[in-house]
Amino acid sequence: MKLFKKKEEEKTCCNCNVDAIAEAEKLKSDKGIKILGSGCAKCQALEKAVRTAVEELALDYSIDHITDFAQIASYGVMSTPAIVVDGKVVAYGKVLSVTEVKDILKGI
């Protein structure tokens, strides 16, 4: 008989925490722009380009930087940095220039 047994968390087949997955799915539906990446120099350069493009286009988008790999994986992104606009991955795997980001944002 175990009196002080640790409460077992519900896990999926890949040992991910179910609550973390649910939170990641909830965040995917948020409006705005998200930069996905570990916070490396490339990710920071992409974030700077996105902020500049949004400012130059005078858009009213919130910009978040997501570094949690579980949340990044929930978008299906395997190569960072990536840009997500209103829940849709629009670019991944490279640092875009301000002009490239503007073109993407104008098309949305």
Q: Which residues are catalytic?
A: 40, 43
DSSP-based three-state secondary structure for 4:
coil
Q: Please, where are the H alpha helices in the chain?
A: 18-28, 41-57, 69-74, 98-106
Q: Which of 85, 32, 106 is nearest to 62 (CA)?
A: 32
Which tokens belong to 92? 């991944």
Which tokens belong to 20? 């973390």
Spatial distance between the Cα atoms of 41 and 35, rounded to a whole number of angstroms = 13
